[in-house]
Each structure stands twice: as structure tokens, then as C-alpha cells.
């Protein structure tokens, strides 16, 4: 595969990881969710950082237990305006907008609006999220 085609394939794979993480957070299997991250991933977000898969999984379970996310929460992550930059050292960065919508009885409402600043690492044949900084200013 040519370098240009390889770069496009990598960019599409990374976009799919971003989308897959959002869908899994909303309604998917949490073991599959956490498998999208590197073992030592860092997830920085306003309630406090999470470090490593076990901690990220604990946070996802807490959000599900509180009804913030997951099946039955009537909440959805909408990820838009994604910009991906693939580097030659098997890393990539991506910036995107996040809109977290909660479908309330009186209609949908935006609970959070912000940005993701992501760093990805190629591990074998797949891309995994190594760092996510969430900014909701």
C-alpha cells in the first residue's frame, strides 16, 4: 500500500476508534470499551483524571451505576469535527468536538459541550487511545 493510502487507512481507523468508544460508552460492553485504550492510558476530564485501563473501567462503571451513561440512561455522545494527524512513529493525534446529549421527558438537552484532544498509539495492527484530554470550556 502506498504511503498516502496507508495514511488514509490509518486516519479512518482512528476515526472509527473515536466513534466506537463513544458508542460503547453509551450502550456497549465495558470490557470492549476499555480494550480501546492502551494499558497505561491517561484520561483527563473535569471530575478528575483516570490512569490505566482498570481505573478507566472503574470510572465507566461508576457512570453507569449513577445512570449518567450506558443502557437506559437516554444519553448519547455526539462526536463531530474530527481532525486526525497521523505521525510516522506509529502515533497520531486527533481533535474533535464533543456534545453529550441527555434525552429528558421534555426533550433532548445538551449536558456537556467540549473538545477531545486525543493521542493514539499503534499496537500491532490496531490503534488504541493512549491519552484523552477533555476540555469543556
Cα dihedral sign for 77, 78, 80, 86? positive
Structural domains of the chain, ranges and CATH numbers in brackets: 3-135 (3.10.450.50)
Mean pLDDT over each residue of the chain, to the nearest integer: 95
CA-based nearest residue to 130, from 116, 113, 112, 118: 118
Q: What is the pLDDT of residue 12?
A: 97
**pLDDT over threshold 80, residue 58:** yes
Helix residue ranges per DSSP H, 1-137: 3-27, 30-34, 52-66
Residue 128 host element (H or E):
strand 126-135
Count CA atoms closer than 13 A to 69's CA, side-chain side. Answer: 23
What tens digit of pLDDT does each residue of 35-56 get? 999 999 999 988 889 999 999 9
Q: What is the pLDDT of residue 2?
A: 55
CA-based nearest residue to 121, from 1, 10, 7: 10
List the grid coordinates of 126.
490496531
CA-based nearest residue to 21, from 79, 102, 61, 66: 79
What tens digit of pLDDT does each residue of 93-131 get? 999 999 999 998 899 999 999 999 999 999 999 999 999
Q: What is the pLDDT of residue 70?
A: 93
Mean pLDDT of all residues in 23-32: 96
Note the residue count of the chain.
Answer: 137
* Residue 110 CA: distances (Å) to CA of 5, 23, 130: 37, 17, 27
The C-alpha atoms of residue 100 and residue 82 are separated, in whole angstroms, by: 16
Amino acid at each position: 500500500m502506498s504511503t498516502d493510502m496507508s495514511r488514509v487507512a490509518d486516519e479512518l481507523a482512528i476515526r472509527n476508534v473515536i466513534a466506537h468508544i463513544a458508542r460503547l460508552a453509551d450502550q456497549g460492553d465495558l470490557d470492549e470499551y476499555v480494550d480501546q485504550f492502551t494499558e497505561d492510558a491517561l484520561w483527563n476530564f473535569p471530575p478528575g483524571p483516570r490512569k490505566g485501563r482498570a481505573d478507566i473501567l472503574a470510572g465507566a462503571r461508576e457512570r453507569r451505576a449513577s445512570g449518567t451513561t450506558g443502557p437506559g440512561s437516554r444519553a448519547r455522545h455526539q462526536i463531530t469535527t474530527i481532525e486526525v494527524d497521523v505521525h510516522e512513529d506509529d502515533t497520531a493525534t486527533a481533535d474533535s468536538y464533543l456534545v453529550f446529549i441527555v434525552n429528558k421527558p421534555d426533550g433532548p438537552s445538551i449536558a456537556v459541550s467540549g473538545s477531545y484532544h486525543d493521542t493514539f498509539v499503534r499496537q500491532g495492527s490496531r490503534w488504541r487511545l493512549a491519552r484523552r484530554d477533555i476540555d469543556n470550556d
